[in-house]
Amino acid sequence: MFSFVSGFYIEGFKEEHKDWPESPFIDSIYKPNQTDPSIYRRDFYGRHHKVFLSYYGTDGPIVVTVHYDANEETYKVLYLQDSGLIYKEIPRWAAFRSFWRMLFCKDPSYHHVYQYTPKFQDIRLPRVPTTPELQDELLAVFEPDFSRAIKVGLLYCKANQTNEYEMLANTSNNTSKEYDDFLTILGDRIELKGFSGYSGGLDVNYGNSGKHSVYTKYNDVEIMFHVSTMLPHYPNDPKQIEKKKHIGNDRIMIVFTDGPQSYIPNCMKSKQTRVKSSSSDVNKASPAILSTPIVNQEPSEDSDSSRLAPSASSKKQKSQPLNQLKPAQYIVSIATTIPLNEPPLPASPVFYKDEQFRKFLLEKLINGSKSLCKHPVFQTKTNRAQSMVFHTFTHKHTNLVNAKMKFTSLLIVISLLSCIAFFATSALPNKIKYTADHLSSSNDDKCASGSMYIAESIPMYLNLTTNQTTYDAWMNLISNAKESIDMGLFYMTLTDGGDLPSEYGGYMGMNIYKEIIAAHARGVKIRIVQNLPSSGEGNDTANLSQMGAVELRTINWPSLVGGGILHTKLMVVDKKNAYVGSANYDWRSLIQVKELGVVVENCKTIVEDTKAAFEQYWEAANMTQLPNKWPSKDKAKYNSTHPAQLKLNGEDISMFLAVSPPQFVSKDRTGDIDALVAAINAANQSVCISVMDYAPTSFYNNPNLFWPVIDDALRAAAFNRKVNIRMLISHWNHTNMYVIPQYLKSLDVLNYVQVRWFQVPDLPFQPQVPFSRVNHAKYMVTEKQSYVGTSNWSQDYFTNTGGLSYNIVNQDFTAQLQSIFNRDWNSPYALPINTFEQQQQQHKMNLQNCKEKHSNLLFANFNQDYSCFACGTEKGFLIFSCDPFKERFGRVFDGGVGIVEMLFRCNILAIVGGGTKPKFTPNQVMIWDDYQNKCIAKLEFKSEVKAVKLRRDRIVVVLENKVYVYNFADLQLVHQLETTNNPRGICAVCPGASNVLACPGLKPGYVHVELYDHKQTQIIPAHESALSQIALNKDGTRLATASEKGTLIRIFDTATGEKIKEVRRGSNRAEIYSIAFNNESTALCVSSDKNTGHIFDLSRSAPATSSASTKEPESEVKNRQSSFHFMGDILPTNYFKSEWSAVQFQIPESRSICAFSSTPNSIIVICASGVCYKYTYDFAKGECKRDENPLQFMENEES
């Protein structure tokens, strides 16, 4: 049934896991105890009871429910806090009664009942009306979805199928009768579209999860099966990613094996699945499982660690002929990574097709799910999900109770004042008259019950706390929407994290995405206006539009404004609720990026004004030219001189919305930059700023411009008024360290100004998430007011980019925002501005930044056919031909060149500045025409360029987490890829006719290969550790890779992703500096920091297109092997099976790169000291000789 594999345990076979922890089986289905959430359903739900709660308890949120059981004359009390659940039964006679209640023979007050428990005797909680709706909400709090509804994966394994791709490829058209019968045992075949029960994450609206599934309800628990043969099948996807999205994320999985083979529990890679049950028809099962213990059999030659796990029957029962077994029988085996649970597997795990079999399976599934929720692996996630429901419920109803109490108090005060006024007026002489024709309240009556709060996203593993998360705020806004949702956004990639393991938090984005779809299903009208997507960006909005869930418009911002983007982050719900803040509609913004925004609820006044800004975007999406003057309907109601006077959170608040750029500032609207500068100018005591990017320049203009508008205001505040200014600026992988630090330092030296970096640490596990782990917030707080916006602080964001800000004057709100800033300022993540001054510039590639003695060489690399090499220096660049060696041309600049990439042997180069005094900023790629002696084009990026690769039709630019591909003819972006952290700038491009690109994947050690001609992508798991070098052969058919360990070089077929050869450089760790194929792909050369070079014979694994005439006879060409290689198949390590280099040679220096020369059997080696060596090798003799006369291509500075 199951093959033994590390990490999984087979129930009923203890011998293979003697270290299994001795623990009792988990109790059977839902036996309520004093801490079981189902006690609320048993003793409270649907019965008369009182509910008391508070979000602001001394120990956090608390909910208390009290029910009087007249039959038992007992009060039943349930307490729920973050620390857990407490259940008490208090006799009626034991509860305290006040004197008056005793005097009038009344029962104890419910407050006194719950105060009977010592822990709660000093608290008094407000009571909320116990309506049926509230009871339903409480049921969800005490019994979250994961306790009364579970999802289970069901994988169909046909005969002789051994890997997940074969199994996932099975469809309902090629199943067996036994399998179909098994599905009827599990539950009912239901139609998904319009299904109202528990969906288990399947689409029940638009058919994206197939037409049918299997569902059942057992002991009040709903179970939805993710049936592999019923999920949509895509013939062009060999990995069936859509199926694995569901089954691979199920914690429990059933495997129905329809053949004699055993199932290997980890053949489907998943960090979620912890319990696997295997079922098979006995007539197709392996006889070894039923009759003779496999441990008594001789192992087969091809068996390794995949020994079959015998069932208990193989040990305790005599063998039974297969043809005598009843046809409707099934064998069951259980593999798990958690302690076993009830019901236990019988000694004879053979079941008939009857109700007993169904009962066993379903109880096993339900109890397994319950065990998983309490298992350490998932406990944190379970607690977090339950806590999220609990906090949301208490926060919502605490606000409602407080608002009701304040409203009641207000009515009482008004009534008293009215009585006083009436009697006072009656006592006055009749001749005195008062009029109130022109008196009116300064507070808007539409916001009497309104509220406003700060929502933050705190990246996981950041030791900071917040009261309200962006995720909770968005979920509340969308789930409570009744009529409309309007979103203005830069882009939407909520579902992109769905394929990642759940510990990355991608499920949050998926939940928001599903909530949007659910809102549409409720009849909510949803409109989205977005920036024009670039190639490679997420397609969530397009998918929502295709479903008919949203009405989508796209703004071509540069065509309307002349540059920039729509960078706003805005949500308006039901014309009375709104969100404005820094968070993009990206799953990373909910859990991997630090964000801050403002949520306004139940306040039409300011929200209608916010909606007017959305309507401008909505209209602009259909325009070809912006109006010189916006029509009167777009006129702002409130601005900096006439802010809205509101009553939010029971307090007076002055507030207005500001917008950018100036082209979108309608009549009476305040511009964003004007509001920001005015707030700085009004400060007399303090200004605290938290923003991702800050510079008194532009970032994206050509050329960039000096723009000191904000900078001047800050300096004037510090110098003229002695205002204390503190600034937190983000430092991350994409910080422009060549522009931002110099301006921050110039501010930091001023009196009354302090500047710090804020750095979010990387995740403690791999892979890292690209474009995350950064403080993305954009706010300012002074002693008088608060500014919360969507823009970074540079010229581009205020003059040609779409953005918004809420400007708020309220003492309590300002204090909250100030507290958040102080928390961050005093945290270990706030670092002095000079922290990174001594940080060494990362290697761009190969020899970059190698400062060996007397050398000013910054960079060296060969061109595409190894006929030339280029050098970048502190004073310019040089180009040399290799064979014969000759200086071809060069340029002397007044600054350094960190990268110079040739295009074969022509006059076109790609140049990037570098060194101590860069000629060009290192975030720019200059296309240099040496014939004209000038730059003919420029590409600019927000972060440092790590590498550039050229083809005759493409320019490839490598950043630390991204690769951009441009068309050479018009510099149009044609593709972009995200990578794991890539400080070396690792990338390879096929120089020949085939258009192939290879770069690091999203996980360390993985290679992403794009075969553009075939519109095919390969993700190759090349190594377990991070990559150090990769290379493509001339035709793009072979890929060579090396990891940071540097012991093995692996060769892959790019078309199939299969490993075709593995060679060994050595046994000790080494840093690989270069890998290169020869023109025929029959040899490979490698250089490392061990002062050695290696040449490997690849003739027997060369592609068929290689010229046969260039190959030496196989008998004379052979890589070296260990003298013990004949023992490789019987020893536990592959070391002795390794192939070592056919030729090894010594290099005088430790840092070098090598390539094949145009002269047959020769190698060119370039060293960091500015010396070039030539070697001649002989495979037949296993020799390699160095020419006696090394070539000095760069003079030392002292010579």
Just list the catalytic residues: 567, 569, 574
Sheet bearing 1120-1121, strands edge to edge? 1027-1032, 1038-1043, 1048-1053, 1059-1064, 1139-1140, 1120-1121
Token couple for 1014: 């075939």
Q: Are 545 and 552 in contact (CB under 8 A)?
A: yes
Alpha helices in 310-375 (DSSP H): 313-316, 355-374
Helix, strand, coil percentages for the chain (3-state, nearest 5): 25, 30, 45
End-to-end CA distance of the chain, in Å? Answer: 75
CA distance linking residue 469 with residue 784, whole number of Å: 25
Q: Are 546 and 522 in contact (CB under 8 A)?
A: no
Element (H, E) at 102: helix 99-103
Token couple for 342: 């009830």
Q: What is the DSSP letter of 867?
A: S
Token couple for 377: 């692996």
Sheet bearing 947-950, strands edge to edge? 947-950, 954-958, 962-967, 973-978
Q: 């193989």: which residue's tokens?
A: 314
Alpha helices in 722-871 (DSSP H): 740-748, 795-799, 811-825
> Is the Cα torsion angle 377, 379, 383, 386 positive or negative in sign?
positive
Angle at 841 between CA 836 and CA 842, to 5 degrees: 120
Three-state secondary-structure class, residue 20:
coil
Helix axes 132-142, 376-427, angle to 10 degrees: 150
CA distance linking residue 44 with residue 67, whole number of Å: 7
CA distances to 728, 844, 891, 908, 1029 from 928, rounded to whole Å, are 38, 19, 11, 6, 27
Q: Are 28 and 342 in contact (CB under 8 A)?
A: yes
Q: Is 423 left (phi over 0), alpha (psi -120 to 50) or beta?
A: alpha
Q: Are 700 and 738 in contact (CB under 8 A)?
A: no
Length of the chain: 1199
CB burial of residue 54 (10 Å; 0-12, 13-18, 19+): buried
CA distances to 246, 543, 873, 929 from 498, rounded to whole Å, are 10, 15, 45, 45
One-letter identity of residue 224: M
CA distance linking residue 335 with residue 2, whole number of Å: 7
φ and ψ at residue 525, rounded to 5 degrees: -85, 125
Q: Are 193 and 204 in contact (CB under 8 A)?
A: yes
Q: CA nearest 388: which of 507, 526, 247, 504?
A: 507
CA distance linking residue 1052 with residue 1058, whole number of Å: 5
User: DSSP string covering 159-221, please?
Assistant: TT--SHHHHHT--GGG--HHHHHHHHHH-EEEE-TT--S--TT--SSSSTT-SEEEEEEETTE
Three-state secondary-structure class, residue 660:
strand
Q: What is the 3-state secondary structure (H, E, C) of 884-953?
A: CCEEEEEEECCCEEEEEEECCCCCEEEEEECCCCECCCCCEEEEEECCCCEEEEEEECCCCCCEEEECCC
> Is the Cα torsion angle 77, 80, 86, 87 positive or negative in sign?
positive
